[in-house]
Amino acid sequence: MSATTVTLLATDSVGSRRLFAHQPHAFQAALAQHDVLLRAAVQAHGGRVPVDLGDGLLAGFCHPVEAVSAAVDGQRALAATEWGPLPELAVRMAVYTDENAFLVDGARNPVRRQCLRLLAIGHGGQILLSATAAEVVRAQRPVGANAQALGWHRLRDFAPREQVFQLLHPALPSEFRPLNSGWWDRWRRYARAYLTPGVRVGGT
């Protein structure tokens, strides 16, 4: 099995469970429109037919520039859409590039898992980038975009910290709350302190 460069774009509708619980019909209609807009953006930039993640999509690209361009176009299309009774449909995105990936189908694909873990620490309206994808963005500035370093963060189920970047574009918001990665570090500290062999939690 030979290594190759793999770039994935993952998206997720933030707060989808709450929206579905309170306004199920409006949310289902909005999600259908969301799928149309994002699939159009992916296909316009040469992405492979995306995988349906329920309230998001996962698409593959030959080059990070294509994935970043699709992400920017997708966010701009979402921002320009009226969502009926819903106040908004906030979608977070992540672009993950691995230059030494092995092609494995389905959920076992390690690049897919890493991309989804990166996606999970973002916020609605935000586009996160892996370090390799950010290098390409800074070098080529696709669609006027740039990359901002957000520091090193630990992704769930991956021990080493990863350097995380945010995509910047003049037409997109750039101010967000801190990334949602702190809870994983807190859990690891708790596990080391209380769940190591021979330690009884809550006992004496």
Residue 201 lies in a domain: no
Query: CA 173 from chain center: how many Å?
Result: 16
Query: CA nearest 14: which of 111, 88, 70, 118?
Result: 88
Report pLDDT digits (tens) over 84-133. Answer: 888 889 999 999 998 755 554 554 577 888 999 999 999 999 999 999 99
* Residue pLDDT, tens place only, 17-69: 888 888 999 999 999 999 999 999 999 999 987 788 888 999 999 999 999 99
pLDDT of residue 191: 46
Residues sharing a CB contact under 8 Å with residue 26, sequence separation 6 or more, in sequence order: 19, 83, 84, 85, 86
Residue 154, domain CATH: 3.30.70.1230
State yes or no: pLDDT of 1 exceeds 50: no
Whether 46 is in a domain gets the answer: yes
CA dihedral 110, 114, 115, 121 (to 10 degrees): 160
The number of domains in the chain is 1
Within a domain: residue 125? yes
Q: Which residues pair with 8 in a beta bridge?
A: 60, 96
Residue carrying structure tokens 């990070």: 64
203 within some domain: no
Q: Cα dihedral sign for 31, 34, 39, 40?
A: positive
Q: Determine, yes or no, domain membership for 159.
A: yes
Assess if residue 78 is contained within a domain. Answer: yes
Q: Domain for residue 202, yes or no?
A: no
Closest CA to 8 of 74, 65, 52, 60: 60
In a domain, 152, yes or no: yes
- Domain boundaries, position 32: 3-194
